[in-house]
Structure 1
Amino acid sequence: MVSRVVFGRGSFNQLGDIIEPKRLNVKAPFIYLVDDVFKGNAELTSRISLAYEDHILFISADTEPTTSQVDDLVEQIILNYKDRPSGIIGIGGGTLLDLAKAVAIMLTNEGVSKDYQGWDLVKSPAIYHVGVPTISGTGAEVSRTTVLTGPERKLGINSDYTPFDQVILDPELTKDVPKDQWFYTGMDCFIHCVESLKGTYLNAFSQSYGEKAFDLCKEIFIEDKGTKEELQDKLMMASWHGGMSIAYSQVGVAHALSYGLGYLLGTKHGIGNCIVFDQLEEFYPEGVALFKEMKKIHNITLPKGICAHLADDEFNTMIDVALGLEPLWENAVGKNWRQTITREKLRTLYEKM
């Protein structure tokens, strides 16, 4: 679990005070990885207290994070600073938070990041790392994984060393999120809940978090309970609880298939989950019905035909990526999942998208 968390409007202003006791020395900087949508946005950047050799790196979140991107960032930090950084601070959505977690891990572990894609492969604790989400729904601020697209697969670095040491949850930072992005990342949270609550890995701990997040999603996306600020607060809490639920259980069919889309087509995670989940009545009938109702309420139109012109080898690539996520399928279908989850079945599902 994340050991320290601060929640509240304006709590981002506490960042400097929170991390300063973790400074190793004046030559060991804090490195800020910040979504480049905030470049030139003094409302946010002026509140980052830089001292000594601290540095901000603005990074585009237009594409999903990759292992090569992580390796390049680690190399850049190692070459530019004689001392190991005091910490890595990720500020942004899931892409920036995953990059921050991965960079923090690779600064203390040998080799390249693709070698750690999988479960419990990390040997050494990451350096101190902090997450500040500026969009709600991904659960990246609390999860024990950092999802990366590698040369052979899209798969997370899943380990007990991955979670942030400190998270700052400030709902004010989410106020300028575009509506479509708000919906897609919100649905990422909703899908986390459905996959956790309907999975074979479910336990009382994950259920309690999943049910709370599920109820919050209904309040936000169906019932519209609260002011704009209250809904922002609720979605940030839903994201946290949804992330906690899957941290102690697992995701399922939507995420497995979405990883295939992301690897081959570069489809962003939130919208990819929505495109996939829209076709999963067979697995999650009640959840999909609610999802379709939410789409209608918020006038959301999903892209269609993104797989219409793919060749056989491209379908096979996506299917290989999806089938490689064995824990997800076991959670969704059970230990004998291979008897029903065939390549033909996945091909049919992808053809619908």
Structure 2
Amino acid sequence: MNYKNFPMVPRVIFGRGSFNQLSEILAPKRLNSHSPFIYLIDDVFKNNAWLTSRIYLAYDDRIIFISAKEEPKTSQVDELVEDIILSSKERPSGIIGIGGGTLLDLAKAVSIMITNEGEAKDYQGWDLVKNPAIYHVGIPTISGTGAEVSRTTVLTGPTRKLGINSDYTPFDQVFLDPELTKGVPNNQWFYTGMDCFIHCVESLNGTYLNAFSQSYGNMAYELCKDIFLDNNLTEEDTQDKLMMASWHGGMSIAYSQVGVAHAMSYGLAYVLGVKHGIGNCIVFDHLEEFYPEGVKLFKIMKTTHNITLPQGLCAGLSDKELDLMVNIALGLEPLWENAIGKHWKKTITKEKLKALYKKM
């Protein structure tokens, strides 16, 4: 048996207000005065001095504000890398991503592409990255995606939506400051939190399950039940617990995989541009056949938090668009193998997936 030797985030700081230690932690990592730190920040913080005033810019350091309204794209990564290289006198000291999963994935991808030739689309897949990334830091401002801990950066490319999965992807440093998640709109909080819940359901019910994945998955699953079913938690408790659920949920799939909801939501994202969290929710709502217990709980959580999911997204799609969706989903073979087993192709047909998509 040949076991995978997975990398982990080597340094993590947790605590309310820990973001205030950012400059102190970055200082020793500065290569020289011509080697800037580049901050990629969700543009919802553009006029938010509460966050930006705590970022100490020195020498040629830069903040680049980026909209998270769309899923991150390989072309976007290439443009950012070109901009950073052309505007910096020397290779940057580090990339700091501040935001949700979109910004964290962009920060991971940019840090990889600064040291690897070609275009980001060339690295979509498993273990294709040759050179270590530059120093990169992840600071989530919404909890659930697990992007802060995972070894993948999910990108929509010219032909598919697929992550850059590599040992060089994980962050060198993560800040888990629950205070940064205050003020997230209820819908967004729910969809991103459900990304974590669905990670756990798919991991815990998968054929790849092992004691490593199970221990982290169970922890995150129980935390999600506390957060989304217990109305007696304070706002601070909710923020703290969801940040830890996200971390554990991300860890639970390091040694396993996600499953049907993620595979099918990739199809929705590629063809319709549906954001990852809400896409998972739209798909998961129809997956009783695969995850009866999880879907039952999900529906209770949805009602508890007054969430109404969009209906009829796929109603007006052409056969060509539906086929593309199905092919994107079917291309994610490890996810299907985890969900169904080695012989998944016998039961998961194009017709079956097309029928499922038509319900959404």
Following TM superposition, by how much is the alpha carbon of 1:81 offset from its aligned partner in structure 2, in angstroms?
1.1
Matched, 1:252 2:252: no
The aligned residue for residue 158 of structure 2 is 151
Aligned 8 A contact 1:130 1:166 in 2: yes
Report the Cα distance in structure 2 between the residues aligned to 1:208 and 1:100, rounded to whole angstroms.
29
Letter in 1 for 2:160: R
Aligned 8 A contact 1:3 1:165 in 2: yes
Matched, 1:285 2:285: no
* Unaligned stretches of 5+ residues in structure 2: 1-7
The aligned residue for residue 301 of structure 2 is 294
The aligned residue for residue 60 of structure 1 is 67
The alignment partner of 1:238 has SS state of helix
Alignment of 1:23-62 (within 5 A): 23-62=30-69
Report the Cα distance in structure 1 between the residues aligned to 2:19 and 2:117, rounded to whole angstroms.
33
User: TM-score w.r.t. structure 2 length?
Assistant: 0.97
The alignment partner of 1:140 has SS state of coil
2:100 to 53, 78, 93: 93
Matched, 1:204 2:211: yes
Alignment of 1:313-352 (within 5 A): 313-352=320-359
The aligned residue for residue 4 of structure 2 is none
The aligned residue for residue 75 of structure 1 is 82
Report the Cα distance in structure 2 between the residues aligned to 1:296 and 1:201, rounded to whole angstroms.
31
Following TM superposition, by how much is the alpha carbon of 1:179 offset from its aligned partner in structure 2, in angstroms?
0.2
2:28 to 21, 26, 44: 21
The alignment partner of 1:125 has SS state of coil
Matched, 1:131 2:142: no
Following TM superposition, by how much is the alpha carbon of 1:226 offset from its aligned partner in structure 2, in angstroms?
2.2
The alignment partner of 1:247 has SS state of coil
1:213 to 209, 214, 220: 220
User: TM-score w.r.t. structure 1 length?
Assistant: 0.99
Aligned 8 A contact 1:225 1:231 in 2: no
The aligned residue for residue 307 of structure 1 is 314
Report the Cα distance in structure 1 between the residues aligned to 2:26 and 2:258, rounded to whole angstroms.
32
Report the Cα distance in structure 1 between the residues aligned to 2:231 and 2:148, rounded to whole angstroms.
25
The alignment partner of 2:174 has SS state of strand
Following TM superposition, by how much is the alpha carbon of 1:223 offset from its aligned partner in structure 2, in angstroms?
1.8
The aligned residue for residue 7 of structure 1 is 14
Report the Cα distance in structure 1 between the residues aligned to 2:172 and 2:269, rounded to whole angstroms.
28
Following TM superposition, by how much is the alpha carbon of 1:224 offset from its aligned partner in structure 2, in angstroms?
3.0
Report the Cα distance in structure 2 between the residues aligned to 1:224 and 1:139, rounded to whole angstroms.
24
Report the Cα distance in structure 2 between the residues aligned to 1:87 and 1:297, rounded to whole angstroms.
42
The alignment partner of 1:131 has SS state of strand
Structure 1 runs, 4 residues or longer, greater than 3 Å off: none
Which has the higher mean CA deviation after the structures are superposed, 152-161 or 219-228?
219-228
Deviation readout 1:50-108 (Å, 9 max, x if unpaired) = 11110000000000000000000000011111210000000000000000000000001
Following TM superposition, by how much is the alpha carbon of 1:197 offset from its aligned partner in structure 2, in angstroms?
0.3
Report the Cα distance in structure 2 between the residues aligned to 1:225 and 1:67, rounded to whole angstroms.
43
Letter in 1 for 2:223: L
Report the Cα distance in structure 1 between the residues aligned to 2:20 and 2:345, rounded to whole angstroms.
50
Letter in 1 for 2:230: E
The aligned residue for residue 187 of structure 2 is 180
Following TM superposition, by how much is the alpha carbon of 1:136 offset from its aligned partner in structure 2, in angstroms?
0.3
The aligned residue for residue 167 of structure 2 is 160
Report the Cα distance in structure 2 between the residues aligned to 1:146 and 1:224, rounded to whole angstroms.
34
The aligned residue for residue 129 of structure 2 is 122
Aligned 8 A contact 1:36 1:59 in 2: yes
Letter in 2 for 1:311: S
The alignment partner of 2:253 has SS state of helix
* Unaligned stretches of 5+ residues in structure 1: none
Report the Cα distance in structure 1 between the residues aligned to 2:11 and 2:62, rounded to whole angstroms.
23
The aligned residue for residue 5 of structure 2 is none
Report the Cα distance in structure 2 between the residues aligned to 1:334 and 1:225, rounded to whole angstroms.
40
Deviation readout 1:139-181 (Å, 9 max, x if unpaired) = 0000110000000000000011100000000000001100000
Report the Cα distance in structure 1 between the residues aligned to 2:151 and 2:207, rounded to whole angstroms.
19
Which has the higher mean CA deviation after the structures are superposed, 225-234 or 84-93?
225-234
Following TM superposition, by how much is the alpha carbon of 1:225 offset from its aligned partner in structure 2, in angstroms?
4.6
1:170 to 177, 191, 199: 177
